[in-house]
Structure 1
Amino acid sequence: MSMRTPFAYVVIAGICIVLHNAVIILADRAGIPLWLAVLLSFCVVAGTGYVLHSVFTFRRPLAPITFVRYVIAMVANIPLAFVTIWFWHQQVGLPMVLASPVASVCMLALNFLLGRWAIATPNRWMTGG
């Protein structure tokens, strides 16, 4: 892993966090239930994250198999986002404008590991190797 990978990951993760938090906070203000806000955020962030991480973080070509793998890996974010946001917002009592970013920080390391597995792992089973 080059020095470029962590830097690119942090920048792109920052973009994804901003997108995620914007969707969650705006959905909360619009009265959209948390479960639906999390699903909306997933759709926006998964597509954006896949393209940016493939091109800039891991320098891999876009491919249907890595997109599917990335989406599968990122699906873990749906329950994780729901639970962490619910915890900080409902149990701790933080307003959504704070609860969502705090929950995002809690999810950062897991997303790096899952994204790296999805995009940077060779497709051995497809090449017979």
Structure 2
Amino acid sequence: MSAVQDPATVAKCLRLGAGFSDRERNRIVEQFTTLDARLAGFHADATDMELSVKDREAKGQKVTLECWIAGRQRVVATSTEEDLHAALNDVRDDLRRQLNDAKTRQEPRNNKHLRVNEPPGPVAPTDELAGAGTTDER
């Protein structure tokens, strides 16, 4: 498998939506850098991410991180943590988990058409097993 020429990174693909300002971008990108390893398998021009928060700093705050990768279903991670920093970590970790799960589902071991299975050999009954469990002592 060849390496992606222009790999996706948080810095290239993240847009800040409602509730966030541009001056927070560098801090958020730094907090999300652990996602770069997972995103590196996708092209930057085919990957888009958006982070938003509803009711920021309120008791019902909801942080949402959405990720679109061409040819795949949209991935959404949400958090209702009251602390914004904890909520950002929560959505980051959830998105990474969902991307890992999606990749696992596409690996050959989960696709019977891509697996290489050896045909089963003939099974011969053994004398031990044929008479096992049948005792007739009356």
TM interval, shorter chain, is 0.3 to 0.5
Between structure 1 and structure 2, the one with the greater Rg is 2
Counting strand residues as a fraction of each chain, which structure ranks higher? 2
Query: What TM-score, normalized to structure 2?
Result: 0.34
Counting helix residues as a fraction of each chain, which structure ranks higher? 1
